[in-house]
């Protein structure tokens, strides 16, 4: 089964140009390696030149092809510059994977004096991705082919507590993508959203209690991205993500009560500073009932 999967991925991406944002670590890094191994020319985009150079060296050593583009996706003018440079260098992008993102774990009532958390999360996760899409989409439309994959969050489907800033930014990108999808359908351009559950990456490392809850590995997350590349679906979610979406659509009060229980069961980040991070049996049980959810 795995061999067939790898064969299909190779067929889809061999000789194609794939841009991966946030390619220096976590999901982006693992995805970049997987696609390069399958024959894609992977364009690595993140903030730090030195880290990207190291990733490129590893890919080339394994026989792959990679190019490096350092860019701070918080800076819209920098996105314009790097987009122009990319198109000047390679001409077009076949697949764009918007993976770079920022997450903030903090309840709304703990954020009354931190409006900047919402601004900076929206800046990177939404405006940064949209700006990149709008710079690269015209060439896709002219060529009448392309694929845009956005790494969203299970929190968009489940309404994860303490992640209002993060989930709102991902939901905004989700809504933008759903509108765009119909507009570019006749141009043979696919838009895919992956409602990623909790993944063990550097982004979640500061929340130590996540060491004791079920998560995906970066390799498993990269497999979801590879599946999206192969099948070009509108959306990909785990079973829990689909269930959460259904409960909110059919019985929103039930969804609200379940999320409220989790909110009250797990400590806030500020309350847990300097405290033991191990979970008690009830917290562990709840986390296993809702694997991959953000608490």
**For this structure, is 286 an active site residue?**
no
Cα–Cα distances (Å) from 51 to 2, 22, 25, 153, in that order, read: 30, 11, 9, 26
53, 79 Cβ separation under 8 angstroms: no
CB within 8 Å of 240: residues ≥ 6 apart: 154, 158, 197, 290, 291, 292, 293
| Tokens of residue 157, six digits | 């489907």
| Residue 235 phi, psi (nearest 5) | -155, 155
State the SS3 of 192-218: EEEEECCECCCCCCCCHHHHHCCCECH
- Look at the block and give the residue holding tokens 């969203």: 152
State the catalytic residue, choosing from 166, 210, 248, 286. Answer: 166
| Residue 21 phi, psi (nearest 5) | -90, 155
- Look at the block and give the residue holding tokens 């001409």: 91
Question: Annotated active-site positions, please?
Answer: 166
């Amino acid at each position: 089964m795995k061999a067939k999967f790898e064969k299909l991925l190779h067929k889809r991406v061999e000789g194609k140009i794939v841009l991966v944002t946030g390619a220096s670590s976590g999901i982006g890094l693992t995805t970049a390696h997987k696609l390069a191994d399958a024959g894609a020319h992977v364009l690595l985009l993140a903030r730090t030149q030195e880290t990207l150079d190291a990733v490129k060296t590893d890919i080339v050593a394994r026989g792959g092809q990679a190019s490096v583009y350092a860019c701070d996706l918080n800076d819209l003018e920098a996105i314009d510059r790097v987009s122009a440079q990319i198109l000047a260098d390679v001409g077009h992008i076949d697949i764009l994977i918007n993976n770079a993102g920022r997450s903030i774990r903090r309840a709304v009532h703990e954020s009354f004096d931190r409006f900047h958390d919402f601004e900076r999360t929206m800046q990177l996760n939404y405006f940064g991705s949209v700006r990149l899409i709008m710079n690269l989409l015209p060439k896709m439309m002219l060529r009448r082919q392309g694929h845009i994959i956005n790494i969203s969050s299970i929190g968009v489907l489940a309404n994860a507590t303490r992640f209002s800033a993060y989930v709102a930014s991902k939901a905004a990108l989700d809504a933008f993508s759903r509108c765009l999808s119909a507009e570019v359908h006749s141009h043979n351009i696919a838009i895919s959203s992956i409602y990623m559950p909790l993944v063990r990456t550097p982004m979640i490392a500061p929340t130590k209690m996540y060491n004791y809850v079920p998560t995906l590995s970066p390799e498993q997350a990269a497999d979801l991205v590879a599946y999206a590349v192969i099948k070009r679906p509108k959306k990909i979610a785990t079973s829990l993500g689909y269930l959460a979406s259904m409960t909110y659509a059919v019985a929103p009060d039930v969804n609200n009560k379940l999320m409220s229980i989790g909110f009250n069961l797990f400590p806030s980040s500020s309350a847990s500073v300097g405290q033991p991070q191990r979970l008690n049996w009830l917290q562990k049980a709840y986390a296993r009932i809702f694997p991959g959810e953000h608490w």
